[in-house]
Amino acid sequence: MLVTFLPAALILAALAAALLIAVPRYFYWLTVARKPTYQINPGEANWLDSQATLDLWTEARDSLKLHAYYVPAPGAGATAILAHGYTGDSRQLGYMARIFHDKFGMNVLLPDARGHGQSEGHYIGFGWHERLDLLLWMDRARELGGGGDIALFGISMGAATVLMTSGEAVPPELRLVIADCGYTSVQDELNWQMKLRYRFSLPPLVRVVSRMAQRRAGYSFEEASALEQVKKSRVPTLFIHGEADTVVPFEMCGRLYDACAAAKEIYTVPGAEHGAAYSVDAEQYEQRLALFLEKYMPGFPTAPGKKAE
């Protein structure tokens, strides 16, 4: 009986070892090293396609070449930098660029996050490396805008990115941050995504993948925390979240708001799913943005002849 048991035990042990290797690698590929698959809705890019955009490039601290679109506004004294979501690209935010440019009279800078769009990179940093990239883009915005004020806006991963950025040593021109449906930390979000997708949560697996990310991508999920960053922030921040969001759970918004050390406001939209607060309540959404800009950005509206509507 022992003779027949040993081969079976060895096979089971080999299968278990294979799973311990294969599953973390697959999860790493699915999250950190996943290739962008977002398809642009034509309505999101139509406005951007009609503008005289400039292609900008900058070099990241790790030598990656990063791309952004820039849409100047005549006479503008301020710039909005818009951060897109996971596996999207800057054109995903064409609809929001129209609001900041046409209605608020601001220059608009739309970076492609590393590993997305035209920017170089083979992994997704979930906002952690991207927060340092945004510091570089703020330098470019100051050069192009003549030293004018800057507003950061982000949605989903982009929201986490701008919140993580707010905890750094930011330039004085950064007047405010607007974060739509951002997550508290990469670790929290991936644990949640496992539960959402596979009906169970396995924190040890996320920790193993985090160690892989540390070795291969240079960051751990534990350190990539918007929650810890907003505790250090001194930049006025508007938190936006759909109350029906299941991709980034609604409760994360309250935790971020409570932890934020800066002047802050919160705007939640009943019935709105992930990233859908604007589509559910467009008029109120634009009004809340305008009021926040008026409160914290001197001289708003920023360009002659422009006004918040």
Residue 206 lies in a domain: no
Residue 107 lies in a domain: yes
Asked if 158 and 177 touch (Cβ cutoff 8 Å), the reply is no
Burial call 82-103: b when 16+ CB within 10 Å, e when fewer: bbbbbbbbbbbbbbbbbbbbbb
Which tens digit of pLDDT belongs to each residue from 174-227?
999 999 999 999 999 988 888 877 665 667 788 888 888 888 888 888 899 999
Residue 24 lies in a domain: no
Residue 94 lies in a domain: yes
**Residues 6+ positions from 253 with CB-CB distance below 8 Å:** 181, 182, 239, 240, 241, 266, 268
Q: Supply the CATH number for residue 81's domain.
A: 3.40.50.1820
Q: Which amino acid belongs to residue 115?
A: G
Torsion of CA 121, 69, 49, 306, to 10 degrees: 150
- Rounded CA-CA distance 252/189 in Å is 9
User: What total number of domains does the chain contain?
Assistant: 1
What does the DSSP assignment read for 39-82?
PPPHHHHHHHHTS--EEEEEE-TTS-EEEEEEE--TT--EEEEE
Asked if 227 and 258 touch (Cβ cutoff 8 Å), the reply is no
Residue 200 lies in a domain: no
- Rounded CA-CA distance 92/157 in Å is 13
Is the pLDDT confidence value at 254 over 70?
Answer: yes
Which tens digit of pLDDT belongs to each residue from 260-290?
999 999 999 999 999 999 999 999 999 999 9
The CA-based angle 50-56-223, given to 5 degrees, is: 115
Tell me the longest C-alpha to C-alpha distance in the chain: 89
pTM, two decimal places: 0.88
Residue 209 lies in a domain: no
- Rounded CA-CA distance 109/158 in Å is 14
- Rounded CA-CA distance 79/148 in Å is 7
Residue 118 lies in a domain: yes
Most confident of 14-23, 169-178, 295-304: 169-178
- The domain containing residue 123 runs over which residues? 43-185+224-296
Residue 190 lies in a domain: no
Q: What's the mean pLDDT in 59-65? A: 95
